[in-house]
Amino acid sequence: MRFPENFLWGGAFAANQTEGAFDADGKGLSTADIFPKADRKTGGMFYRTYDQILEAVSDPDSMKYPKRRGIDFYHHYREDIAMFAEMGFKALRFSFSWPRIFPMGDEETPNRKGLDYYRNVISELKKYNITPIITLSHFEMPLNLSLKYNGWADRRLIEYFLRYAETVIDEFHDDIRYWITFNEIDATLHIPLMGAGLIEEKTEDIEKTKYQAIHHQFVASSLLTKYVHEHYPDLMIGCMSTKNLKYPATCRPEDCMQWLYETEADSACTDVQVFGEYPYVWKTMWRKKGITPEITEEDAAVLKNNTVDFVSFSYYASLVTSADGSKKEKTSANLLVGEKNPYLRQTPWGWQIDPVGLRFSLNQMYDRYKLPVFVAENGLGTIDVFENGTVNDDYRIDYLREHIREMGKAVEDGVPVFGYTYWGCIDCISASTSEMSKRYGFIYVDQNDDGSGTLKRYPKASFRWYQKVIASNGEDLD
């Protein structure tokens, strides 16, 4: 099992879950900064009422709203990057915080201090020859754009996003080759406030508005792709969606038909950005539901003529589907809830552990799109016990070993996988529940759910194991 010699081993995280410093150096509030810690039994919290949003805006407390404090990567980035380098990282996928650069989102000029901060981070990565892979929008758009325009429901956000994205690409094009426009763009359909800044009480028909909002995001992504291809043809710009892998519950034709329909529908967001047009399943669904997004002829031409250079996805778990799914036991998998698979184990958060599903997903993605494939997120979020200065996380090593082994089989199958960035390579605030207890990292951060702790960093057992994997280019998985 041999990975390509230049394979991009590394880790990934989002600015809103790590940086902290939510009001430092001119940064504005983001949509992530309004979410308090949630009870994990609820499966997370992605919804806020308009009054709750206004209450958060008027409350400066970073203890109540954990993503405001993150793990203070803003001040610890040199230390953290040095630890990534010690593991041997070839790449780090992370996001730029849009409101750190355009605090309100609709300004004419950027916040220079925000650009300077990311210049410092990129310089530190260059020092260790770590390739940056940048996500431009990762659930952290300026909150002002949500309050003032109802987020991506308003077409003007295309202009504001392009101003921000073109600014950072102009600034960093010499140092950053790989760019991803939207993280898990399908999130707009599942968690519209996080994904697109939509406030439901300001939205007449949330179901219709979600599709208008995601259309505006597709157009913005395509227009940015056009800009990059015209101005910086050596850069690679890609899309990223949640890999909602499902299996039919049985070989009963009705179950297989349900699986086929859901698989086609779940693929639609990547289809639009690779093929440049909306798939038939969405058009059929729109007709049945009376949804008619405003799509101009110019929009259609932009989508068709400006498609991405690579595809990427997050993969954590798989689900099962059937024609009579309402009667089956349910479990969650990232953004979705579906039927439980009796053949798989689960994490404490109910996500089913399916290493073979990663190989399945990689083959499925390449067979469909015929583009280079990048595993942007994969990882195990669970409860760690910190003892004697470390965490003996053999369970995380087992998870990684099996997933990397299956990814290697996909490479043997002929899939051009060019990178793998393990999610939450350093412990960070949970996207769904805003807690620290759900830990993914190779590096333990001394911070509790209530914000107490020293923020000191400690390598876990998985730190040395992943170091060995990278040094052997994926061959030594013992």
Query: What SS3 class is residue 389?
Result: coil
Based on the residue annotation, tell me whether 412 is a catalytic residue of this protein: no
The single residue of 19, 124, 339, 377 carrying the catalytic annotation is: 377
Using DSSP's 3-state secondary structure scheme, residue 212 falls into helix
**What would the two tokens of residue 60 be?**
């400066």
Chain mean position to CA 10: 15
* 254 tagged catalytic: no
Separation CA 423–CA 371 (nearest Å)? 22
For the chain, the first-to-last Cα distance in angstroms comes to: 14
Q: Tell me the two tokens of residue 108.
A: 């004419």
**CA nearest neighbour of 177 among 237, 225, 130, 96:** 237
SS (H, E, C) 228-296: HHHHCCCCEEEEEEECCEEEECCCCHHHHHHHHHHHHHHCHHHHHHHHCCCCHHHHHHHHHHCCCCCCC
Closest CA to 418 of 2, 8, 1: 8
How would you class 100 by CB atoms within 10 Å of its CB: exposed for 0-12, middle for 13-18, buried for 19 or more?
A: buried
Residues 6+ apart with CB under 8 A from 382: 347, 348, 349, 395, 396, 438, 439
- Residue 207 corresponds to which tokens in the numbers above? 């179901």
| Catalytic residue (choose from 140, 184, 339, 406) | 184
Token readout for 359 is 């190989």
DSSP string, 290-317: T------HHHHHHHHH---SEEEEE---
Return the active site residues: 184, 377
